[in-house]
Structure 1
Amino acid sequence: MSTPTRLPGIVTTDHVFRLPLDHQAPEGEQIEVYAREVVAAGREQDDLPWLLFLQGGPGGKANRPAGRDAWVDRALDDYRVLLLDQRGTGRSTPANRQTLARRGGPAEQAEYLTRFRADSIVRDAELIRRQLLGEQGQWTLLGQSYGGFCTLTYLSIAPDGVREAFVTGGLAGLRSSAEDVYRAAYPRNVRKNKAYYARYPQDVAAVQRIAGSLVRQPAELPDGGVLTVEAFQGLGLLLGSGGGAQVLHYLLEEAWVEGVDGPELSDTFLAGVQSHLSFAQGPMYAVLHESIYGQRSVDAGGTAWAAERVRKEFPEFDAAAALTAGQPVLFTGEMIYPALFENDPALRPLRDTAHLLADRTDWPDLYDPARLAANRVPVYAAVYHDDLYVDTADSLATADAVAGTRVWVTNEWEHDGLRVSGGAVLDRLIRMARGEL
């Protein structure tokens, strides 16, 4: 534990925990897991209940507060907050192309990364809980997006350590395979595209012009990555956040400059695209993404690049065909394709590792439907209507399957409502838990 640091309105304390890489072999290799404790200034000595924040991802580190900002401000009214850098992220022992190379070849790297899913994250959290709160201590969970998936795993593995759980950004389908997830996702992407082009009709031609250029000749990004038309379509990830459509529109506005040989894609545009598409700061998001849906009792065939396979069922996402037919080019979203591991310099060294993980067929189950059906931990979930990232139907079905779950369905916010609502989303859930709503 470090010396506390004072920031406007808060006091933070660093915690570093030595934990087993493999929780089935607790005396074996150890890794570090970092967490930042945050408490309201002046309440450092108060006996406050703890709230553990589980970040979205996979492969996302916890937010870095500058003070009483965003949802943290509301949480600090009632809780002492622990911001966990899930294993492999942030200040925890990192997992990326640089560190994984030390493990050996692709087979060794893939085997290592099998221990970075939600089940391992939850077991990390349980060891941390015992150290900070004692064996009988309980804390509140706040799971955003993938963090909500981890919350369901927590309630499946170790519910006795949880006092209550808040989930924002959707609940995982307990029996949904990776194919199921993407088969539901592509139609949502179509709807988000239609809404985008309805708001910015001038962007139909703007996107066609860029896509046509990339079909003829992919562009080089500043980091040496390759911008293909399929990679460009990946900017649809922005359409799932509150201000994402505007970000995309303004990015397209500066796409072209007049070069020596005529119009060419501008450095401003290419740098902007790179900032949204590069996985340099979060490679595990790409490497482990489909594995978060892997459960051998649901799909014994593994994930096997499900997004790529299911995409063939939706020919409207074929950019070249759309251009030939004079149709709008559709953006994709939260899909990870094998070509990313050819085009992104941060992912290229992990290409073979990613293929081995995609081929894996023995992923342990992450959820215990029977235990969740008998759940006694109160769960309060914000489900965003037509969420781009998490299927609303899956969320509602899971809410029905997990005893003690209350759901607030809203279209006021997109997937990032927790972050951008100024604490309103979390406040609503807390008031639900307190019986005020």
Structure 2
Amino acid sequence: MTNLAQSVGSEGELARLQELVGDALAEARKRGASAAEAGLSVDRGLSVNVRLGDVETIEHHRSQGLGITVYFGQRKGSASTTDLRGEAVAETVAAACRIAAYAAEDPYAGLPDQDCLATTFPELDLYHPWELSPEDAIALALECETTARDFHPAIVNSEGASVSTYAGQRVLGNTLGFLHGYATSRHSIACSVIGESGDSMQRDDWWTVARAREDLEAASAVGEQAARRTVRRLDARSLTTRQCPVIFAADVAGGLLGHFLGAIRGGNLYRKSSFLLDSLEKPVFPEFVRLSEQPHMRRGLASAPYDSEGVATRAHDLVTAGVLKSYVLSTYSARKLGMQTTGNAGGVHNLMVDHGESDLPALLRQMGTGLLVGELMGQGVNLVTGDYSRGAAGFWVENGEIAHPVEEITIAGNLRDMYRNIVAIGSDVDRRGSIHTGSILLSGMTVAGN
């Protein structure tokens, strides 16, 4: 594992991959393409899963792949391969060219504008390979699960614990002269257990993820948190249908804002399948809300010096003082909308949500009586209309304190109203993904139960 991880981040490996991408682009030019872009990635990793004290799986991962897109004027063709031998790469380019010959002309197709491409590459500290042996990974996973199973007598079963480590390198190039690559790493520990009390059974989980091993929570802490979350959900009951304030806990609040990102994504906008059409420079949140993209955060899980097209990423506000200031656009979607790319081909890079000073207990006190949502189920979100209806579980809160766990309910509203009805954002920020937000308090939603 050590040698594999080190080879991913080595200068020799980077030079080899850059040469392969350069060869693919040269082959595309040779075959008459007016423009081309290619991306190549290699990665290695180790994953271990244990359950009930036994090892279930040990997997070593090693993969590689090259994708090439060619343009003959406004006609586009793409192909990919996992075989990086010279003849295989040449045949992949030839396949992309054949596809382009049958493609319809698209006036918006093509490479990014030259002046949008990244020319400087900040050091983002994204590569920290973990020299982890299978034996050490098993020991960590067993420590995590054992801690969870021993936490409380109500823990009667386990869905297992896992430890994974990943190191990868990607190179991107195009015929405008862009050619660059960098290495990344990503490691995680996770655990899920089942609790029982009378006729009630519940499960919950916890996980930690980071670029560097030292930034992970301890395996025992992950197991303890998974067990604690499971035990507190036991003896849950439903609610009668009502209107009430709702808090989305930090670990599910990111999903609520993920729907907002979907609604301002270029593809949904030019297809006119978003409830936020024509909302630029209009208020979509209360005035205290600010959402900013910070792509150059060191060790950020979604940090990147450029997007998947090579367009330079930059820090900027999506929402300022509640007003929508920017869409999320790739080159293609920007051209379809008559706008400029925002460097978001492939997604958003570290969405930061400004928050107040209140932690979750303070938000509960501010809410007084209402629902704390800890889990969401189902896919009842319509981005065209904004209608929102999802199964939920969590806790009923009275007088600012958790009264009892809740299950078998549905929460419903419209995203446009939900965003405008945000009352406060907590300081308990969850940083385990691309959206960094604390718990979110909404003034009211429909809660449907018995």
Q: By the TM > 0.5 criterion, same fold?
A: no
- Normalized per residue, the structure richer in helix is 1
Between Structure 1 and Structure 2, whose CA radius of gyration is higher? 2
With the length of structure 1 as denominator, give the TM-score of the two structures: 0.24
With the length of structure 2 as denominator, give the TM-score of the two structures: 0.24
